[in-house]
Amino acid sequence: MDLHARENPQPKTPASPLGLVVIIASNREGRLAPVIADWFLEHARAHGGYDVDVVDLAHADLPVALSNDPGPAGTEALERVTPRLAAADAFVVVTPEYNHSFPAGLKNLIDWHFTEWRAKPVAFVAYGGMSSGLRAVEQLRQVFAEMHAVTIRDTVAFHNVHTRFDEEGRPRDPAGSDTAAKAMLDQLAWWGETLREAKAVRPYDG
């Protein structure tokens, strides 16, 4: 199985919604990720410009050791994820910050793929303590640049996240986060549409 030679999907028409894959990066027991992701998914689905899919790394079960022959279980796990990444026009990564960086499972997902990321925009929803998860995002920008992806400038970030949501999973002060989510989704849509249209005219061979 060649990791870097998977077939690219046929380009969508400009009129169709952008295929957006939201990647939930945390797989830690007791994680807060579903609360953050559910809040963001509500905004993404209400935006109107996206057909939204979710890849939750807590349930992906991707093999840890990279290989051109990942075996039956690894191949099956990749077959559940890889076509969805390939079909996407854009990505949003929902990530915490672990030890000044991002989760190992997310790096594993990235490293199993290559063409699936190329010439597509990636945005981030980050959360953490004092740093709001932004140190993880800055490192991810470098990683996705190597994948020939385009990262979106504006990020949704939650400072001291354990105090920011109520018992029902709603932001205690929604105005700022709601505004940030809309701005990011608007930027992501511009890049997603622009890159999709460009690739329809001239496929990206970088």
The per-residue pLDDT for 173 is 86
Specify the CATH superfamily of domain 18-201.
Flavodoxin domain (3.40.50.360)
The per-residue pLDDT for 12 is 52
What does the pLDDT look like over 94-152, one tens digit per residue? Answer: 999 999 999 999 999 999 999 999 999 999 999 999 889 999 999 999 999 999 999 99
Instruction: State pTM to two decimals.
Output: 0.91
Average pLDDT rounded to a whole number, residues 171-186:
94
Q: Which two tokens stand for residue 26?
A: 């945390």
Q: How far apart are CA 97 and CA 117, in angstroms?
A: 22
CA distance to 4, 24, 99, per residue, from 127 (Å):
31, 12, 13
Name the average pLDDT for the chain. 92
What are 157-160's contacts with CB under 8 Å, separation 24+? 157/125, 157/126, 157/127, 157/132, 157/133, 158/36, 158/126, 158/127, 158/128, 158/132, 158/133, 159/128, 159/129, 159/130, 159/131, 159/132, 160/129, 160/130
**Considering just the CA atoms, what is the radius of gyration of the chain in Å?**
17
Non-local (6+) Cβ contacts of 13 within 8 A are none
Measured in residues, the chain has a length of 206
The full set of domain ranges for the chain reads 18-201
Q: How far apart are CA 147 and CA 145, in angstroms?
A: 5
Q: Say if CB 21 and CB 84 are below 8 A apart.
A: yes
Banded pLDDT at 206 (limits 50, 70, 90): confident
User: How is residue 123 annotated by DSSP?
Assistant: E
For residue 35, give the 3-state DSSP assignment.
helix
Burial class (CB in 10 A: 0-12, 13-18, 19+), 183: middle
pLDDT at 13 over 80: no
Banded pLDDT at 10 (limits 50, 70, 90): low
What is the greatest pairwise CA distance in the chain?
A: 49
